[in-house]
């Protein structure tokens, strides 16, 4: 069984470990690497119900964070009603299972259910797996369709 649910405080160490694992993977495949994340910041995101996890058979397979504002990246477009997907980190035992598409589909449904106009995915240009979703026929319009 697979489900996407909010992370809880009990998941904090798992989240931090998956972020560390993602950073190690980034170092192995790219020059672009996350700098790491402050545990207090991640805890606040959990408390704000912005940290999510994909659970398969009671094991955390993937985690990601959502935001509703991202002015550092989106500048004047940050005033739009949007959900931003950040920090997708996959448990190494579950890589290659298409979680980016699953998360994208989930985010579109989440946006529709919450009257959010846009879905935006944050990634680096050399991340081929994520870039194919950004190039989908205007992902943000999918969130607006009824």
CATH number at residue 139: 3.40.630.30
Dihedral angle computed from the Cα positions of residues 22, 24, 29 and 34, in that order, rounded to the nearest 10 degrees: 60
For residue 83, the enclosing domain spans: 2-144
How far apart CA 54 and CA 31 sit, in angstroms, is: 27
How confident is the model at residue 39, as a pLDDT?
97
From residue 65, alpha-carbon distances to 1, 2, 53, 104 in Å are 22, 18, 9, 12
Is the confidence at residue 118, as pLDDT, over 90? Answer: no
Question: pLDDT digits over 19-39, tens only?
Answer: 999 999 989 988 888 888 999
Question: pLDDT digits over 63-113, tens only?
Answer: 999 998 765 665 566 667 888 899 999 999 999 999 999 999 999 999 999
Length of the chain: 146
How confident is the model at residue 112, as a pLDDT?
93
Provide the phi-psi class of 80: left if phi over 0, else alpha when psi is between -120 and 50, else beta: beta
Looking at the structure of the chain, the number of domains it has is 1
Lowest mean pLDDT, pick from 77-81, 87-91, 122-126, 132-136: 132-136
> Is 54 in contact with 11 (CB distance < 8 Å)?
no
How confident is the model at residue 124, as a pLDDT?
45
Kindly state the tokens that stand for 81: 């009603």
How far apart CA 123 and CA 125 sit, in angstroms, is: 7
Is the confidence at residue 146, as pLDDT, over 70? Answer: no
């Amino acid at each position: 069984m697979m489900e996407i649910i909010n992370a809880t405080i009990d998941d904090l160490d798992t989240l931090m470990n998956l972020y560390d694992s993602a950073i190690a993977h980034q170092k192995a495949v790219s020059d672009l690497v996350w700098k790491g994340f402050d545990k207090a910041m991640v805890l606040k995101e959990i408390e704000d119900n912005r940290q999510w996890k994909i659970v398969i058979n009671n094991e955390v397979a993937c985690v990601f964070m959502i935001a509703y504002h991202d002015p550092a990246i989106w500048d004047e477009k940050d005033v739009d009603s949007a959900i931003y997907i950040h920090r997708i980190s996959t448990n190494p035992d579950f890589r290659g299972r298409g979680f980016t598409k699953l998360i994208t589909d989930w985010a579109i449904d989440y946006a529709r259910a919450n009257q959010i106009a846009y879905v935006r995915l944050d990634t680096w240009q050399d991340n081929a797996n994520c870039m194919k979703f950004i190039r989908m026929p205007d992902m943000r319009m999918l969130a607006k369709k009824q």
